[in-house]
Chain A
Amino acid sequence: MTTATDARGRLGRRVERVWGLVAKEFRQVFRDSRMLRVIFIAPVIQLTVFGYAVQTDLWKTKTFVVDHDRTAASRELIESLTAPGYFDVVGRSERGTDLVRALERGDAIVGIEIPVGFARDLREGRAEVQVLIDGTNSNIASVAQGYVERIVQSYGLRASSMQVILPVDLRERAWFNPDLVSQNYNVPAVAGILILLVCLLLTSLAVVREREIGTLEQLKVSPLNPFELIMGKTIPFGIIGLIDLVLVTAVALAWFQVPFRGSFLLLFAASLLYIGCGLGLGLLLSTVSKTQQEAFMGSFLVLMPTMVLSGFLFPVSSMPTSFQYLTLLNPVRHYLEIVRDIFLKGVGFEPLWPKFVALLLLGVALLGFATLRFRRTAVEE
């Protein structure tokens, strides 16, 4: 009996100590109105702005036309390219050299040259059209290439007098995002990255700041052990992270009208684990850094690979195999996959559980390392 009450008493004191630290961190954050803006307003503004930027859909691609034929047929071809809105004619000329210059200067991304006799050749079923595409941005180039190919082919089929029977009738349908709106895919991902950014901003300087202003010494002589200290730092920032999650999700749903087909509870659970990873990463950075500047540089160094190797900008499946394995260590990769699946596919826990486990393991490992690391520096000094 007495040992049980003792244990409860110890636990109570422990909770009390951690709570004291939590309250202190909250006071520190809420005292500073600029800090509040950085934490709560900035992610909302950023998502609103970036949400418009993250579209890979082809729209009004700048196109330069050199029409040597100048017939009804050649005009129709151009019309069939521009009518759906994918291409926008920004210049016309009689000379091929102007087309080259437009591509060089970046005034146009696509150049179309229609040779003399196009209309005549079309009737005979052997017409040629030259399409030049600025390949410097290979993403845009390959999308544009696909569109041009399809439109020109289908125009050719319609316009030629010959009856062509296609051996295979291709019927495509995109599932989960039928209109292929790239924003639907990217806005939730940007939200995820913003959450990580906030987590790193909050924690990467959290320990090292105390070290620099000397309050770490006070914390060390206090009865807080490293685990309690890390908890005291994690809980308040975790709550802030969750508030941010609600805010950015609201922007994605209400402003960008991204469809949400899954369960909010599942999203919340995944975000909790993900925020744990983000905070663990930040705290680890903070404990290994000697100065705030070092911690800051550290977060920059960490952010770059976590973003590039997350599948946010470049699909993981097109990376070299060794890098694909490397991405398994990246919490952002798992979280983005979960978020995209919950938002667009509405899948449940069953197909996602390996990713949840991965997030859990990474979070425990990161927070654990941060605690260990903190204990070691505490002993060293």
Chain B
Amino acid sequence: MLGKLLPYVAIGVVDIFLVSVIGVLLFGVPFRGSAALLIPLSLAFVIGSLSLGMFVSAVAKNQLLATQMALLTTFLPAFLLSGFMYAIDVMPRALQLITYLIPARYFLVVTRGIFLKGVGVSVLHVEGLLMIAFAVVGLSAAIGAFRKELG
């Protein structure tokens, strides 16, 4: 399980680094916070997202269904329910609760906080802890589903 996860974690973090560099250099997005903080938080985000994928992969019976479920559960929700385009505050209460299942929701607060507001741990520890919790729960759910499949 970990062996499957680690290479993808590395790829994810490298990707975040690349797009951050492009954002700053090409589009002139201000970067006011600390890069040292962005790295561990990115790590938590990537692990959380991957564990969601692993969970789907373990639950789905075949590859076709796994990919379809992955596409359905990640693509549009990440756009529409993360607070990226539409403010979460305005959504109905029930929907606000669903947004907690979207890892991008936390990470958006982190990137916007670090890039634009330049805030530090004192503000972002909430999202950081939530992402770590998400990763832990996601991973254990994935491992559980995986075990069931094996046994």
The chain A residues found within 8 Å of chain B, CB to CB, are: 34-35, 38, 42, 46, 49-50, 52-62, 104-106, 109, 135-137, 139-140, 190, 193-194, 197, 200-201, 205, 209, 292-293, 296, 299-300, 303, 307, 313
B81 within 8 A of A: yes
Proximity string of chain B (49-82) to chain A, C-beta cutoff 8 Å, 1 when within and 0 when not: 0000000000001011101110110011001110
Contact present for A38 and B65 (CB under 8 Å):
yes
- Which residues of B sit under 8 angstroms from A201, Cβ to Cβ? 68, 71-72
Contact present for B76 and A46 (CB under 8 Å):
yes
Q: Min CB distance, B117 to chain A, in Å?
A: 6
B137 within 8 A of A: no
The interface size bin for chain B is 20 to 34
In the complex, what distance in Å separates the CA atom of A136 from the CA atom of B33?
14
CB-CB under 8 A for A50 and B80, given A34-B61, A38-B65: yes
Residue of A nearest to B98 (CB): A49
Contact present for B71 and A299 (CB under 8 Å):
yes
- Which residues of B sit under 8 angstroms from A190, Cβ to Cβ? 76, 80
Residue of A nearest to B65 (CB): A34
In the complex, what distance in Å separates the CA atom of A321 from the CA atom of B63?
41
In the complex, what distance in Å separates the CA atom of A59 from the CA atom of B90?
6
Taking a contact as CB atoms closer than 8 A, the residue among A53, A106, A299 that contacts B95 in the complex is: A53
Could you list 19 further interchain pairs (A-B, Cβ under 8 angstroms) beyond the known A53-B91, A209-B64? A35-B65, A38-B65, A49-B98, A52-B91, A55-B86, A60-B90, A61-B89, A104-B117, A106-B123, A136-B112, A137-B112, A139-B85, A190-B76, A193-B76, A197-B75, A201-B71, A299-B71, A303-B75, A313-B79
Contact present for A38 and B72 (CB under 8 Å):
yes
Residue of B nearest to A204 (CB): B67
Q: Min CB distance, A221 to chain B, in Å?
A: 24
B109 within 8 A of A: yes
- Which residues of B sit under 8 angstroms from A137, Cβ to Cβ? 83, 87, 112
Q: Min CB distance, B5 to chain A, in Å?
A: 17
- Which residues of A sit under 8 angstroms from B98, Cβ to Cβ? 49
In the complex, what distance in Å separates the CA atom of A59 from the CA atom of B123?
25
CB-CB under 8 A for A136 and B116, given A34-B65, A57-B90: yes
Contact present for B95 and A49 (CB under 8 Å):
yes
Contact present for B76 and A55 (CB under 8 Å):
no
Taking a contact as CB atoms closer than 8 A, the residue among B69, B80, B119 that contacts A38 in the complex is: B69
- Which residues of B sit under 8 angstroms from A136, Cβ to Cβ? 112-113, 116-117
- Which residues of A sit under 8 angstroms from B65, Cβ to Cβ? 34-35, 38
Which residues of B in the span 37-56 have a Cβ within 8 Å of any Cβ on A? none
Contact present for B79 and A307 (CB under 8 Å):
yes
Q: Min CB distance, A86 to chain B, in Å?
A: 11
- Which residues of A sit under 8 angstroms from B81, Cβ to Cβ? 49-50, 53
- Which residues of B sit under 8 angstroms from A61, Cβ to Cβ? 89
B28 within 8 A of A: no
